[in-house]
Structure 1
């Protein structure tokens, strides 16, 4: 079947209405998810301030992996909402039942995108959209292999990469708002350099010492809390809308194993046994 032209605005509105009727409130679930993510980010940042050696690296890797699992749980909640099913708060931790596959798929997907990016920026961006649905395929079918999930996404995104790009583009305002603390920091640095360029030309490393005139803990909290507070207002709709694209792509491509497999099913190859 040919790719379908998706009415993005209509789909967004449908998702907003759907989230209002969710059996477990979307705002509460999103708040819990973002609070846990914020706690992980703060742990990572504070550890880096106290110790920038091996312990900090270990904590950074650990928090990143836990973030992947929590992200999986949040998507599973959104999938349940789209199906009209009840998903409790503990759904956020359902990713631990197939954590190995989640981590491995994230790593392999990142590696593929990185390798394509070495050719040029555009191939890397295309690769990112090519594998956009791989994690969703894995969440629906935890028993499939990593390479199988990537191949499924490759087929499902045919004809939809541009539409997914436009979906992301429609949230540019939210992304900029979430990045406001970073933008202010960059503006402050540029203003300081512009006022006395000779001082910084004499020693360019002085730029790295520039920061907003705020206590360091306040800067860390602001950098962590503000983006997550903004995400609270757009993330549930965005995630459910993207899952709407995923469902349409499955239907039009005919590539779907929905309901098949499971974390306790035997693996069928493609590194899925990790």
Structure 2
């Protein structure tokens, strides 16, 4: 499947859903930025102190790191939202928050995110290129956890690496193809990212759905 076809299918999935996906992107940005800003103001001892501070208090850095971990399940649930959208299921914004009702799933995606980050970092210590290659290899971990909740963290990472064999370059080029749009979004003072982000997410979900999700079926045939 060509990159142009992946992006076309993604746009088809987004037809009639732009209001919803732009709203979800805006909600996530406001939520994450609002929480982090509130933490900095609190840790600084108030709004006035925050305005006048010359450096970020250690407490703010610690609390921000904790919140970043807590927000991991939400970011993964958004990835899953787009997979449902691509699969023409009833994807609603409210569903992304239900991940916090399942502690087991929540802890698994946090653990998977941390392990993927550690593995990628360790490979990057060798050279940047190996780190990028491994990051691409691990990229389907969370999609696989959605389709295969029975997988352990390491099983999902290993399976992602296996299924991405022969597809890493295509996945890299797919995401690289949005760089022009990214530049235009910067020119628009970042407003364009409200539309570009859903386009990228939907394209990555389409990539998984068409090239990765059915790998086992193709091998059986």
- The answer to whether the superposition gives a TM-score over 0.5 is yes
User: Does 2:148 match 1:141?
Assistant: yes
Cα RMSD, aligned residues only: 2.7
Instruction: Determine the structure 1 residue equivalent to 2:159.
Output: 152
Contact 1:33–1:92 under 8 Å retained in 2 = no
Distance 1:22 1:233, change over 3 A: closer
Give the number of the structure with larger relative contact order, counting CA–CA contacts within 8 Å between residues 6 or more apart: 1
Q: How many residues were matched structurally?
A: 206
**Deviation (angstroms), 1:178:** 5.2
Q: Following the alignment from structure 1 to structure 2, what is the Cα–Cα distance between the partners of residues 69 and 120?
A: 30
- SS of residue paired to 2:71: helix
Instruction: Determine the structure 2 residue equivalent to 1:19.
Output: 14
Instruction: Determine the structure 2 residue equivalent to 1:95.
Output: 99
**Deviation (angstroms), 1:102:** 1.1
TM-score (norm 2): 0.81
Runs of 4+ aligned residues of structure 1 deviating over 6 Å after TM superposition are none
Q: Counterparts in 2 of 1:144-183, with a 5 A limit?
A: 144-177=151-184
Contact 1:44–1:63 under 8 Å retained in 2 = no
Among 243, 249, 257, the residue aligned to 2:205: 243
- SS of residue paired to 1:254: helix
Q: Following the alignment from structure 1 to structure 2, what is the Cα–Cα distance between the partners of residues 27 and 245?
A: 21
**56-65 or 24-33, which moves further after superposition?**
24-33
Instruction: Determine the structure 2 residue equivalent to 1:209.
Output: none
Instruction: Determine the structure 2 residue equivalent to 1:230.
Output: 192
Q: Counterparts in 2 of 1:1-274, with a 5 A limit?
A: 6-22=1-17, 25-43=20-38, 46=41, 50=50, 52-96=56-100, 97=102, 98-177=105-184, 226-227=189-190, 229-251=191-213, 253-254=215-216
**Deviation (angstroms), 1:122:** 0.8
Distance 1:110 1:251, change over 3 A: closer
Structure 2 residues without counterparts, runs of 5 or longer: 45-49
Distance 1:117 1:180, change over 3 A: farther
Distance 1:106 1:54, change over 3 A: same
Distance 1:242 1:113, change over 3 A: same
**Deviation (angstroms), 1:60:** 1.1
> Comparing both structures, which one devotes a greater share of its residues to helix?
2
Q: Deviations over 1:60-116 (max 9, x none)?
A: 112211331221121121111112111222212133222111111111001101110
Q: Deviations over 1:209-242 (max 9, x none)?
A: xxxxxxxxxxxxxxxxx54x33211111111111
Distance 1:43 1:18, change over 3 A: same
Contact 1:76–1:91 under 8 Å retained in 2 = no
Distance 1:174 1:46, change over 3 A: farther
TM-score (norm 1): 0.66
